[in-house]
Structure formats: structure tokens, C-alpha cells
Copies of this chain bind each other. A is one copy, B any other.
Amino acid sequence: MSLPRAAAPAEPVSVPQPAPMIDTSSLKPLLEPRSVAIVGASTVPGKIGAVPVAMLREYAFPGDVFPVNPKAEEVFGYKAVPDIAAIPSAIDLAVIAIPAPGVLAALDACADKGAKAAVVFSSGFAEVSEEGRAAQQQLAERARARGLRIIGPNALGVANIDAGLVASFCPFFKPRFAPGGAVGLVSQSGAFGGYVANLAQDRGLSFTKWITTGNEADIEVADGIAYLAQDDATRVILVYMEGARNGARLVQALEMARAAGKPVVVLKVGRTAVGAEAAASHTASLAGADAVYDAVIAQCGAYRASSIAEWFDLGYAFAFGKAPKNNAIALVTVSGGVGVMMADEAETGGLDTVPLSAAAQDRIRQIVPFAGARNPVDVTGQMLGDLAGFEQMVEVVLAEHPFGSIVGFNAGAGHKEENGFRIQKVWETVRARHPDAYIAISGATPPAVQRAYEAAGCLVFTAPDTAVATAARMARLSARLADAPSPLEAPGAPADIPARALNEHEALDLLKAAGLPAPDVRVAKTPDEAARAAEEIGFPVVVKILSADILHKSDIGGVALNLGTPEAVKEAAAAVLARARAAAPEARIDGVLIAPMMPKGGVETILGVTVDPVFGPMVMFGLGGVLVEVMGDVALRRAPFGLKEARAMIGEIRGAKVLAGARGAPPADTGALAAALVALSRFAAANADRIESIDVNPFLVFPEGKGAVALDAVIVPAAGKAAP
């Protein structure tokens, strides 16, 4: 018997795939307006209608400012107008800070004055009731009709620090953020956006643009990301989100950031929520909707943080520091034990604490005889007494290897400003000689010294383990950014998928046509036909009941294995048919399936597709048996994708060693497996609206060079099983 082979996994032909871009030009009037009207401006400090006016004054916004207030002459030094109609010249941006019932009319009036964008603070829309939802819908439609983009309603607003624009009632824009920041923020939640502004104040970090999207009647998180991807000043994009309205738009925005080489760090809530999607097939139950976000964010080159601290540390690190250019890390510590802790963290994060050469170690021991010289370099407490020696040791380390990261732990050595500045000067020298490295120090550091470090491009963390972990995360994110998706083949062809339950034979046939390897199987209606089919295929064969209505065929005695003669096949087919009719009298039975008996060996895997309501078809991969079902050890990717992503999926499951040949087994044919995943992803993408899920289980992967084969498959059409 010859084994079915996968198509050779040659690199597919690249076809032009112009990345769909989100047009962000309409956001310019929102974030770069020449003039701003504040509807509902207030003279009472702290009020919602007062804060933006006060902040425009505080930030010396260079354009025109028109507070609309029928009772005041002046609001925070700006001449007030009694109503919108009285605004003396055209406006770009309207800030609407009045109760919900008046918003629609205000929007119209502002449009009459030429406004191209509005920030709607007003609450009382979709967040409170169905009526509010309808009002919000009406607001969105009116804005679209009048050619305005809107933020909100129920939003905390936006800011563009360098442009002096604060169109927000967030209290944390005072004290004034410094211009020249590097962090762009997009937050779906206003409360959270304000909280982050407070964190930034505490950390001495400034924003380029600060965008909270609120109810997202129009502008959503993806638009903010797309805008920041094209904003020259923004070097890192921090995103807080609760969910995406439009998955494809989020993917586009993230791909725009990757194309611009900009790291995106995402904090998404709902990590443990069980997806709402009803799990129609077995595979569907394996991948909750949150796991889909995980997969999509990584696939688009972004990074999902697991805590607020991790998320914000990354923003800080990209703003003030450099991402590691390689995985080699040098650790310089005044405590040997803390050096071990840092090496632990490096290894956990995939960084390599490359040992120094014997010669370099000798040179270090010439400076301090009992220093730890291997890397981590333990400079010992002597360092404080002999900073020249310390500098020499650091130089020996750096001369040795082009380390991508250098992390120091000073413990308390720099806690006094005088000593702190002396040590800081040493690191400043290091920075000058190694302008591209990630450099971070940790330990007790007075604020003035910290600012000096940061000005020199050296990061400061309280904890040494965090300093190392952040380097590892930056390295991972940078690698993803650089790792553009593989070119896609021409899209797969739509298949003729009936809107009814498919039997195994039909499912395998469709997948075979799409390029998945599947055995040469025959359908037989009678035991005699079965015997003839077996002779055509060659012995030994398997006989299986063929029915879309019977899912667990073995359980009802619907499978007979390893049949070596026509007689055995005949007998088995008769028995299988009889047992199926007895066990499931209601089932539609299409006959029996005759398939070649597969040789022993090979690794059982599972390939699957679920159509996510937000992101469309997602392809799943895992090992068969307990690893998927009990351990949930699966990899996910949004379809379609190329061989690079398929190979990455195979490598990223925890049980990957099994395919590499664990326990003395030969390595599996991962090339054939990857090609099958690509084919499945193309099929899923081309038929996204016709399917609900696909489950290829088992998909058997033979040893290297021997291919792979789908032994069973279930395709659930989009219309469900009800339609015949």
C-alpha cells in the first residue's frame, strides 16, 4: 500500500497583496484641528465643560478657541459666544459637553459651522438603555450624513500634547505633560485612559496622542491605532480594549503599525471569559473567543500584555530605551544571588546569558579577584569604592560580545545622589559606546538620578527581575514586528458545500480537493460493492459506517479494522450496516466507507476551523488525544496564512517535542503538516460564509518524507445540520 502524500511544501507563489489600509485623513480635524468650539463651556473649575477650556489655555493651544456659553463673557480667558451660530469663523473640532438630549442639534449646528469632527462627552446613550442606543445610532447616522467623524458619545475625549490640544475633561493633564513624548495611547475606556494618564504623570512619561473612544458610535480603537501607526511622533502604541467591533479593521490597523515598524502593546480584558459562541463541534469547544484575540494580536505582530504593570513598563521602555537587537544579554550585579535571579528571568524570557570567554573572565578577576566573572558578572560590593574598576569591568563585558541587552543591579550603591550620579556616568559612557543596546539598571535610584539615566537612554526599574523581563518582552515584540507574514498564495476557491450535514466521505473529498492529503476511499452501498472496492484499493482495509448522523462510529460497532480478504470485507460491511441500523434507526445511512488500513506509527494530530464572529475563520492545530482535550494545548491562527505561520503553529504548542521525535521516535513530516494547515486555511478563508466549523481528527503525520493523511473529517455548514 502506498501512503498518501501531501503536496510538496514548496514556498507558494507570491501574489500581490496590497495591505488594505484604513484612511486616517478624516481623523486630522479631530487630532490636529486649527480651531475648537466647546459646546457647554463652563466657568466653574473642574466641571466637565470647564476642564477642556482650561486645558487649552494651560497647553497654549495655538488655534482659535470658542467657548459656547450663553451666560459668560469669557471662559478661562477665551471670549465666549452665546450659541454655536454665533461662532465668528469656521471650526474644525467641536467638543460637546451638554446633556444628551441637546447633542444632535448641537452636532448639526457645528456642522453648519464647518466642523469636521466632534468629541461627545455626553453620557446617556447606548450605555444606559435601548432608547439611548437608538439615539446613539441616530447620532452616528447624522454625523456620517454631515461628514463629521465623532469620538464617543460617553467619551473622555482626546489629546495631542505636541499640538497643545486637550479635548478632554480628564483631570490628569495637569501638571502639563511635556512635549516630545513617544507613547500614543488608545483606550476604549475613559476611566482607564484617565488612570493611565495618572500613571504617566507618576512615571515622568508623556504622550504624543491620547485617545479614548467611549461608546464608539463612529471612531473605534482600530481607527486610533491606524492613526498612530502613521503618526511620526509616536514610537510605541499602547492599547486598552474590551473587545473589537470589527475584527478585520483591527487586523488592518495592527498590520499598518507593523508596516510602520511600530510596537503595539495591547491590554485586553476578558481573558477568562468563556466565549459566547455555542460550540457546535468538538473543535469549537477547544478555542474560546479570548484565545482568538491572543492569536490574532500575535499574528499581526503586536503583543498582548498579561498585567497592567507589564503593559505600562513596555510603554515606558519603548519610550525611553531601545529594544534589544539580539537575544544575548549581559548582567552586571553587586549581588551574586540577584545575578542568578536575573539569569533565571532571562532564560524564562528566551534571552541568552552568554558566558564570557576565559580571557575576559581573567581580565575581570584581575580587577576584583573574587568577582563573579562568567556572566552574570558579580562586581561585588567593591564597586562603590572603585568606580574606575567598575567601569573597566563593564568595558570588558561589552568588548566581549555585541550584547543586545545590558542590565545592571546596583542594590543600594546609588541611593545617595552623589554616588548615584557617579554610577550613572559610567552607564552613560556605556550607552554612548553602545547606542543600540537595551540598557536598564535597577536598585535604589533617587529621582534626579533616574531622570539623568532616562535622558541618556538608560531605563530605570525598581526590581532587577522586571528590568530583565522587560528586555525579553521587547525582544519578542521586536522579532514579531520584523517577521512580516509570508506571502499568500492566490486565495482558495469557494467550494460547493451543501447547506446540510456532510458525511465523512463528502467532507474528506472537499478537503482533498482543497489540497489536504486524504486516503483513497470508496463508498459502497452493499457488502458486495464493499468487497470490490477493497480489491481496487488493495488490502488491508478498514470498513466504516457512512452517516452524517452518527458521530461516534466506534461506539456503536460501526468500524472494522485490518480486513485482509474480500470475504472479510463483505462480512464486516454487513455487520457494520446491521449494527448501525440497530443502534441508530433514525439515522440516514449512506452505505459504508472502504479505506486503506493505515500503517502503525505516525503522530495523531487534530486540525480544525471555527468561524469566529469577530475575526472570521480561525485555524486550530494540536496533538491528538489527551494533549488537546485535557491540556488544551493548541495553536490558533486567523485564516488564510502561509507556510511560515503554519510552521510557527507547529512549533509553538507545548507538546511540539512529540513531532520532533520524542522517546526515540523519528521526527514527523512537519513539512506535510504545515502544507495541510496552509491548505485548510485557504479553504476556510474562501468558504468563510459557508461553514461553521471543520474538524479534521485524526490527521496522521508520518515520519519525515512519508507525508501525512486526514483520516476523518467533519464539516459543519453555516446553515447548520437542520437543512437537508
- A298-352: which residues lie under 8 A (CB-CB) from chain B? 307-309, 334-338, 340-341, 343-344, 347-348
Q: Is the CB of A172 within 8 A of B343?
A: no
Q: Which residues of B contact A640 (CB under 8 A)?
A: none
- A592-636: which residues lie under 8 A (CB-CB) from chain B? 623, 626-627, 629-631, 633
Q: Is the CB of A335 within 8 A of B630?
A: no
- A169-212: which residues lie under 8 A (CB-CB) from chain B? 170-172, 188-189, 191-192, 194-195, 197-199
- A268-307: which residues lie under 8 A (CB-CB) from chain B? 269-273, 307
Contact of A340 among B195, B197, B270, B464 (CB under 8 A): B270
- A411 on the interface (CB 8 Å rule)? yes
A163 to chain B, nearest CB (A): 23
If A191-B381, A631-B631, A662-B630 touch, whether A308 touches B269 (CB-CB below 8 Å) is no
CA distance A93 to B272 in the complex (A): 55
CA distance A465 to B629 in the complex (A): 30
- A240-270: which residues lie under 8 A (CB-CB) from chain B? 240, 242, 267, 269-270
> Can you report 6 A-B residue pairs in the complex whose CB atoms are below 8 A from each other?
A171-B412, A172-B444, A191-B411, A195-B412, A626-B626, A626-B658
Listed stretches A121-129, A475-483, A571-579; interface member: A121-129
Question: How many chain copies does the complex carry?
Answer: 2
CA distance A443 to B198 in the complex (A): 9
The chain B residue with its CB closest to the CB of A309 is B463
- A655 on the interface (CB 8 Å rule)? yes
Q: Which residues of B contact A170 (CB under 8 A)?
A: 412
Contact of A338 among B123, B191, B444, B623 (CB under 8 A): B191
Q: Is the CB of B369 within 8 A of A128?
A: yes
If A307-B466, A412-B191, A463-B308 touch, whether A269 touches B654 (CB-CB below 8 Å) is no
Contact of A655 among B240, B411, B630 (CB under 8 A): B630
Q: Is the CB of B192 within 8 A of A337?
A: yes
Q: Which residues of B contact A71 (CB under 8 A)?
A: none
Q: Which residues of B contact A272 (CB under 8 A)?
A: 343-344, 347-348
Q: Is the CB of B462 within 8 A of A269?
A: no
Q: Is the CB of B335 within 8 A of A198?
A: no
Contact of A415 among B198, B415, B466 (CB under 8 A): B198
- A657 on the interface (CB 8 Å rule)? yes
Q: Is the CB of B381 within 8 A of A123?
A: yes
Q: Which residues of B contact A242 (CB under 8 A)?
A: 336-337, 340
Q: How many residues of A contact B (CB 8 A)?
A: 66
Q: Give me the 7 closest cross-chain CB pairs, A-B, nearest first.
A: A191-B335, A128-B370, A191-B411, A198-B444, A269-B340, A271-B344, A308-B463
The chain B residue with its CB closest to the CB of A199 is B462
A443 to chain B, nearest CB (A): 6
Q: Is the CB of A344 within 8 A of B307?
A: no
Q: Which residues of B contact A627 (CB under 8 A)?
A: 626-627, 631
Q: Which residues of B contact A466 (CB under 8 A)?
A: 307-309
Q: Which residues of B contact A465 (CB under 8 A)?
A: 307-309
Contact of A192 among B198, B271, B338 (CB under 8 A): B338
Q: Is the CB of A655 within 8 A of B629?
A: no
Q: Is the CB of A340 within 8 A of B273?
A: yes
CA distance A408 to B348 in the complex (A): 33
Choose among A308, A334, A370 the residue with the greatest number of B CB atoms under 10 Å from its CB.
A308
If A335-B191, A370-B127 touch, whether A662 touches B308 (CB-CB below 8 Å) is no
CA distance A199 to B466 in the complex (A): 15
Q: Which residues of B contact A197 (CB under 8 A)?
A: 412
Q: Which residues of B contact A444 (CB under 8 A)?
A: 172, 195, 198
Q: Is the CB of A171 within 8 A of B415?
A: yes
CA distance A191 to B376 in the complex (A): 16
CA distance A347 to B462 in the complex (A): 29
CA distance A654 to B633 in the complex (A): 11
CA distance A309 to B467 in the complex (A): 12
CA distance A381 to B194 in the complex (A): 12
The chain B residue with its CB closest to the CB of A555 is B664
- A329-385: which residues lie under 8 A (CB-CB) from chain B? 334-338, 340-341, 343-344, 347-348, 369-370, 381
Contact of A443 among B195, B411, B623 (CB under 8 A): B195
CA distance A195 to B411 in the complex (A): 5
Could you give, for residues 640-673 of chain A, a 1 whenever the CB lies within 8 Å of some chain B CB and a 0 otherwise? 0000000000000011011000110000000000
Could you give, for residues 465-494 of chain A, a 1 whenever the CB lies within 8 Å of some chain B CB and a 0 otherwise? 110010000000000000000000000000
Q: Which residues of B contact A663 (CB under 8 A)?
A: 626, 629
CA distance A192 to B409 in the complex (A): 10
CA distance A229 to B623 in the complex (A): 48
A578 to chain B, nearest CB (A): 24
The chain B residue with its CB closest to the CB of A416 is B171
Q: Which residues of B contact A416 (CB under 8 A)?
A: 171
CA distance A344 to B290 in the complex (A): 11
CA distance A706 to B197 in the complex (A): 63
Choose among A127, A463, A630, A655 the residue with the greatest number of B CB atoms under 10 Å from its CB.
A630
The chain B residue with its CB closest to the CB of A413 is B191
If A269-B341, A309-B466, A655-B626 touch, whether A335 touches B370 (CB-CB below 8 Å) is no
